[in-house]
Amino acid sequence: MKNPYEIRYRLTTFTVHDSGGSPEGKTYRNGAPLRSSEDVYRYCQAVFAELDADKEHFLLFAMNNKNRLIGYKVISTGSLTASLVHPREVFRAAIFLDAAAIIFAHNHPSGDPAPSNEDIDITKRLKECADVFGIRVLDHIVIGAERFFSFNDKGLL
C-alpha cells in the first residue's frame, strides 16, 4: 500500500534555447557567425526583450568551433541589482551544448552598462574555469539602456 503522504515528483530545470534567428531576420544557426560585440548585442536585445526588464539576468551563449551560435541558456535570474552566478551552472550548460566557445551576457536594469567590481570578478573566475575545460571565452556583454559594454572590446579578457 502506498503512503498517501509520500509525494514524488520530477522537476525539469535544464532548458536550453535554439538560436534560430533574430528580430532582424538574420539567421545565426548554420548561418553567419557572430563576428562582433555589436552582433552579440543585437541578438541579446531580442533575448532580453522576452525577460523581465526589472531583474538582472545572466545568460550563456554557446558557440561551435566556427563561432556560430548553437544555443543559449538563462543561467540566473536575480533581483534589481544582482544575479547569483556560479561556474557549476555555467559550465554544466556549456558542456551540455558541446560549446567550443562561449559568450556571457547580462543586463543592468539601471540602464548603465558599466561593469561592477563583481562583474569583473565573476568574468575572471569564469574565464579561468573555461581555460580548464578548454572552452574559449569570446566576450562578456553587459546590456544597458540602448548601449552595452564589451569586456573583449575593452581588453578585459
49 part of a folded domain: yes
Q: Are residues 81 and 112 in contact, defined by beta-carbon separation less than 8 angstroms? A: no
11 part of a folded domain: no
**Three-state secondary-structure class, residue 12:** coil
What pLDDT, on the 0 to 100 scale, is given for residue 34? 82
87's enclosing H/E stretch is helix 87-96
Q: Is residue 45 predicted with pLDDT exceeding 80?
A: yes
State the residue range of the domain holding 128: 37-150
The pTM is what?
Answer: 0.80
CATH of the domain at 52: 3.40.140.10
Q: Is residue 5 predicted with pLDDT exceeding 80?
A: no
Distance CA 73, CA 96 (A): 10
User: Looking at the 3D structure of the chain, how many domains does it have?
Assistant: 1
3 part of a folded domain: no
What are 115-135's pLDDT values in tens digits?
999 999 999 999 999 999 999
Q: Is residue 155 predicted with pLDDT exceeding 50?
A: yes
26 part of a folded domain: no
Q: Are residues 47 and 28 in contact, defined by beta-carbon separation less than 8 angstroms? A: no
139 part of a folded domain: yes
What are 48-99's pLDDT values in tens digits?
888 888 899 999 999 999 888 888 899 999 876 667 899 999 999 999 889 9
10 part of a folded domain: no
28 part of a folded domain: no
6 part of a folded domain: no
